[in-house]
Amino acid sequence: MSSVLQLLLEGEHLNTAQMAQVLGMSESEIEAELTRLKAEEIFLGWRPVLNPDRAQENVVRAVIEVKISPERDGGFDRLATRIARFDAVESCFLMSGGYDLLVFAVGKDLREVASFVSERLSTVEGVLSTATHFMLRAYKEQGYLLLSPSEREDKPAVSP
Amino acid sequence: MSDNGQHFVADHVAGLPRSGIRDFFSIVAAMPQAISLGIGEPDFVTPWHIREAAIFALEKGKTSYTDNLGLIRLRREISSYVENNFGISYHPETDVLVAVGVSEALDIALRAVLNPGDKVLYHEPCYVSYSPSIVLAHAQPIAVGTSAEDQFGIDPERVEAAWEPGCKVLMLNFPTNPTGGVTERAKLERLAKFAIEKDLLVISDEIYSELTFEGEHTSIASLPGMQERTIFLHGFSKAFAMTGFRIGYACGPKPLIEAMMKVHQYSMLCAPILSQEAAIEALKNGAPAVAKMKEQYHRRRDLIVRRFNEAGLDCHSPKGSFYAFPSIQSTGLDSLNFCKGLLDEEEVAVVPGTAFGPSGAGFARASFSTSYERIIEATDRVERYVEKLSKRA
Ligand SMILES: Cc1ncc(COP(=O)(O)O)c(C=O)c1O
C-alpha cells in the first residue's frame, strides 16, 4: 500500500505540508501521489465525519433493505447504480442473504425519507420490495466513538 | 527533635537523589499549554479487546489473590510467547514469575541476589530506577558509559575495563530508555563470554524489545550458556500500551525464580488478578495491535530524527524504543539549561539527559510517543530555539 494512503488511513488529520514532513517527501510529491490515487479511483475524496447527534440536528437517517430483480445483462449493477444516484442515498451495497441492496439514506425529517422510499425508490422498475429502518442514535461513526468519556486525563506530562 | 521526622529516614534512602525527572515534572506540570515530549509511556490507550477482557474478568467476579507466581494460564502464555519471540524456553511451573511491572521484577531480582556490598555493572545513560534500585538493595552501582559514536549500544571492552572484584551482576536494557540504543549480536556474544568468565549474573530488561525498528532483537538469554545465568525481564507497559495495569514478568532458572518468589511473596503477595487476565488476552490476541502501534512509532521516529538533525541537533536514529536522544552540545548549553530554556522560551518539554545519569550530559530525551502534528510543532519550535541560541552565542 502506498505510504501516503497508509498515513491517511491512520486517521490523524494532516495537511499536505505535514504529510510531507512525516513521510520525508516534498509537498509536490504528496500532491502527485494524491492525484494518482484519485485518478486511479483508489482514493475517492474527503468528507468530514460529524457527530450526527450534535452537528446535524435536522437529519434523519435510515437503512433500507431493498429487493430487486437482477437483469440478464449486468445482474444488479444497472439498477443499483440507478438507485445510488439519488441525492438521498449516502451509500449503497449489494448484500448476500435475505435482500439484495442495503441503502443508507438521509433526509431532513421522517417524511422526507418516507417519501423518498415510497415515491422514488419503490417506483423504480425492478424494485420488488423495501423495508425501512430508521436510525435512533449513533454510538460510533466511521471509527469515531461518540459516547466515550475523555481518556488519559491523569497522565503525567513527564514520566520516566 | 524538630526535623519533622527526617532523622528516622534510613541513611541509604536519605542519600538517594530525587529523580531528575520528578524535578522537571513539577516545572512542566505548571505549564499545561506546553507540548510535552517528556512522556515515557505510550500515547495509545490499551487496545480495547484487552480492556474488555479485564472488564469481563471483573464481571465474572475475579477479585481474589492468585498463586504467588501468577495465574498458571498466564505463565503458560508467557512461556510460549518468550519461546516464540525470543527463542528461550522456560518452564511455566517453575521458571516464570508474574510481577507488578518490570519495576517490581527488577527490584525483587536485585534484592534476591545481592548481598550488602556486592557490585552491579550497568550501562548508562539508563532508566532512572537502575542505580537507586541497586542502592536500595544495599549494593554498589558501577556505571559503564555508552556513547553516541556507538549509537548507545554497549562496548564490551568498556564493561571489561569497568569490572572489578566484587562484581556480581550485569544489568542490560536493550533497546534502551532513554537512548534507543541496541547492541548487535556479536557484541552480546562477547559480553556473554565475559559474563561466563567472571561468573556474572545478567539481568536483562527487554521491555522495549517489540519496538525494534531495524534488525532483529536478540536476547542475551538465548545465547549458549546464558540462560542459566540470566534473569529475563519483560512486561506489557510499552508494546501493549498497558502502563496503568502494572504488570510484567521475570523468567529465569528455577532457584533464582524461587528466591525472587520469596521476596515477592512477602512484599507483594501477587500481581493484581485483573491485570493478569488482561495480560493473557494481550499475549493471545494482541499481536496485530502491537504491529500497528509499532508502525506508527517507526514513522514518528523517522520524522523526529530528521527534524532534529535539520534543526541543527545531532541525532542518531534510535533502533528501538520510542525515544530520540539528540545531542545538544552544538548549542553550547548544558542539558538542564537547554531544557529549561526550551521550556521557558518555546514551551516544549524534553528531559535533560543528565536525569538518566552523568553520561547523559550533553543530550536530551525526546519521546516520540505523541501525534505527528505535535512532533512537527515541537521540532519547529526546537529549530527556532536553536537558531536563537546560535545568534546569541
Ligand atoms: C527500561 C525500563 N524498564 C522498566 C520500566 C518500568 O516498566 P513497568 O511499567 O513494567 O514497571 C520502564 C518504564 O519506563 C523502562 O523504561
B181 touches chain A (CB under 8 A): no
Between CA B19 and CA B132 the distance in angstroms is 9
B93 falls within a domain: yes
Q: Give B-chain residues touching A7 at CB under 8 angstroms.
A: 299
Question: Are B122 and B233 in the same domain?
Answer: yes
In the block, residue with C-alpha cell 548507545: B152
Q: Do residues A143 and B22 make contact, with C-beta atoms less than 8 angstroms apart?
A: no
In the block, residue with C-alpha cell 468528507: A47
pLDDT for B27 beyond 90: no
**Packing angle, helices A27-39 and A3-10, rounded to 10:** 90
B105 lines ligand 1 (CB under 6 A): no
Give residue B68's pLDDT band: very low, low, confident or very high (50, 70, 90). Answer: very high
* Nearest C-alpha neighbor of B340 from the set B19, B18, B20: B20
pLDDT of A158 reads 82
B276 lines ligand 1 (CB under 6 A): no
B142 falls within a domain: yes
pLDDT of A151 reads 56
**Index of the ligand 1 atom closest to the CA of residue B248:** 10
pLDDT digits 0-9 by tens, A48-85: 888 887 876 678 999 999 999 998 887 899 999 999 99
pLDDT for A154 beyond 80: no
Q: Give B-chain residues touching A24 at CB under 8 angstroms.
A: 302-303, 306
pLDDT digits 0-9 by tens, B321-350: 999 999 999 999 999 999 999 999 999 999
pLDDT of B272 reads 98
Give residue B123's pLDDT band: very low, low, confident or very high (50, 70, 90). Answer: very high
Domain span including residue B101: 48-285
ipTM exceeding the 0.90 mark? no
Q: Give A-chain residues touching B295 at CB under 8 angstroms.
A: 6
* Nearest C-alpha neighbor of B234 from the set B208, B273, B258, B269: B208
B127 touches chain A (CB under 8 A): yes
pLDDT of A56 reads 65
How many residues comprise chain B? Answer: 393
Q: Average pLDDT for residues B239-256, to the nearest whole number?
A: 98
Q: What is the CATH number of the domain that holds B386?
A: 3.90.1150.10
* Nearest C-alpha neighbor of B353 from the set B145, B168, B157, B120: B145
* Nearest C-alpha neighbor of B41 from the set B216, B207, B217, B272: B207
Least CB-CB distance to A159: which of B40, B300, B302? B40
**Index of the ligand 1 atom closest to the CA of residue B100:** 11
Average pLDDT, chain B: 96
Q: Do residues B223 and B189 make contact, with C-beta atoms less than 8 angstroms apart?
A: yes
B233 falls within a domain: yes
Between CA B272 and CA B256 the distance in angstroms is 22
B56 falls within a domain: yes
The single-letter code of the amino acid at B53 is A
Going by CA atoms, what residue is nearest to atom 14 of ligand 1? A160
pLDDT of A146 reads 86
Least CB-CB distance to B19: which of A18, A21, A160? A160
pLDDT of A144 reads 86
Task: Choose one of B255, B285, B315: the last residue of a domain.
Answer: B285
pLDDT for A150 beyond 70: no
In the block, residue with C-alpha cell 491512520: A10
Question: Are B120 and B192 in the same domain?
Answer: yes
Task: Choose one of B285, B302, B333: the last residue of a domain.
Answer: B285
Question: Are B329 and B261 in the same domain?
Answer: no
Least CB-CB distance to B306: which of A10, A24, A156? A24
B1 falls within a domain: no
pLDDT digits 0-9 by tens, A18-45: 999 999 999 999 999 999 999 999 999 8
Shortest CA distance from A14: residue in chain B: B373
Judged by DSSP in three states, B68 sits in coil
Q: How far is CA B205 from CA A43, B88, B232, B362, B370, in A?
A: 44, 15, 6, 25, 24
Question: Within 13 Å of residue A53, how many CA atoms lie on the same side as its CB?
Answer: 10
Q: How many angstroms does the Cα of residue B50 sit away from the middle of ligand 1?
A: 20
Q: Give A-chain residues touching B354 at CB under 8 angstroms.
A: none
DSSP β-ladder status, A140-141 and A144-145: antiparallel
Question: Residue A14 contacts by C-beta under 8 Å, 6 or more apart in sequence?
Answer: A7, A22, B372, B373
Question: Are B264 and B317 in the same domain?
Answer: no
DSSP A18-39: HHHHHHT--HHHHHHHHHHHHH
Shortest CA distance from A22: residue in chain B: B303
Between CA A6 and CA B139 the distance in angstroms is 50
Which grid cell sits at B175? 533497546
Task: Choose one of B221, B255, B285: the last residue of a domain.
Answer: B285
Q: Average pLDDT for residues A116-139, to the nearest whole number?
A: 94
Question: Are B68 and B23 in the same domain?
Answer: no
Question: Are B199 and B326 in the same domain?
Answer: no
Question: Are B37 and B63 in the same domain?
Answer: no
Q: What is the CATH number of the domain that holds B266?
A: 3.40.640.10
Question: Are B216 and B317 in the same domain?
Answer: no
Question: Are B61 and B38 in the same domain?
Answer: no
Judged by DSSP in three states, A89 sits in strand
A24 touches chain B (CB under 8 A): yes
Question: Are B136 and B269 in the same domain?
Answer: yes
Average pLDDT, chain A: 91
B27 falls within a domain: yes
Question: Are B82 and B131 in the same domain?
Answer: yes
pLDDT of A97 reads 95
Question: Residue A157 contacts by C-beta under 8 Å, 6 or more apart in sequence?
Answer: B25, B28, B29, B32, B34, B36, B38, B39, B349
Question: Are B234 and B309 in the same domain?
Answer: no
Higher per-residue confidence, B65 vs B30 = B65
Q: Do residues A94 and A78 make contact, with C-beta atoms less than 8 angstroms apart?
A: no
Q: Average pLDDT for residues B74-82, to the nearest whole number?
A: 98
* Nearest C-alpha neighbor of B77 from the set B280, B288, B290, B287: B280
pLDDT for B84 beyond 90: yes
pLDDT of B338 reads 96
* Number of compact structural domains in chain B: 2
**Index of the ligand 1 atom closest to the CA of residue B126:** 1
Q: How many angstroms does the Cα of residue B51 sit away from the middle of ligand 1?
A: 20
